[in-house]
Amino acid sequence: MAPSGSLTEREALSARSVPSMVLSDGSSSSLTPPPISKFEVEPTTGARRRFSVRGNAIVTGGAGTLGLQACDALLEHGLEGLMIFDLDPANGEQEITRLRFKFPDRKICTYAVDITSEVAVQNGIEETLRQLGSVDILVCFAGVVGCVDALEMPASQWRKIIDINTTGSFICAQAAARQMVKQGHGGSITFIASISAHRVNFPQPQVAYNVSKAALLMLKSSLAAEWARYGIRVNSVSPGYMDTILNEGEGLDIHRRIWAERNPSGRMGSPPELTGAIVLLASSAGSYMNGTDIIVDGGATVF
């Protein structure tokens, strides 16, 4: 029994105060003002500015194949500084070195981070500020997959996949957004979801992965609503089957054939084919894109 004068748990529900979202008013003094519309005199200048990427970015899972391709594209479009978060950045050491030679005037850094640890992620944010000076863009590639029959999946594996793919993405987004709010000029956050967020994969069973990616779509939408008033846009990209080392090997030959046969384009995606969507969402051209998911799958999800 509750002590005299104290509320029971049920009574406390009716006495609680629930916070309310605050949306931007879109005025010129807000952090979501309309852009100045004008025609550029010189066409190449207009094209370059339309997809210009400004400031500094953190790319989680940036030492992987897809992450490195995105880093390269963002730098090509004007990114000034890059911080790669990865559990083991040494895995991409050769390609990261190539990026440094290709972009000698940019600062390209790496930091070993377990994205499921709030302390580790916050340390990474602080190191990014020390090295680059600001956090303006976050792209979350870090994730894991697990293919096992749902009847056989141990709860520990379920928790690990959700913890990395969904909770880890939230931890990174929250830490980056807190810094963006302090900076006061907005930013862009992009989650890497999957076509697995839109429909069940075939033929492999991977329920935890599918659920973790579907959760990212709602996370994206919820944060887009909450953080727009700070000028922070939150979007996602849903790739189809991409031709990376994760989808190679003789053991996957039958699966690769099925994935290609069930795709209108008749093949898997090539990693550079994902970069256009990444650049769009981080660039000037994406300034009115918030809460959006872009599917890049060759048409697989039309069925």
Burial of residue 303 (number of CB atoms within 10 Å: 0-12, 13-18, 19+):
exposed
Select which of 169, 188, 194, 212 is catalytic: 194
User: Annotated catalytic, 209?
Assistant: yes
The residue annotated as part of the active site, out of 111, 212, 213, 241, is 213
Active site residue 213: yes
Distance between CA atoms of residues 102 and 272, nearest Å: 17
Residue type present at position 92: G
- Catalytic residue check, 212: no
Catalytic residue of the set 209, 230, 236, 283 = 209
Active site positions, annotated: 194, 209, 213
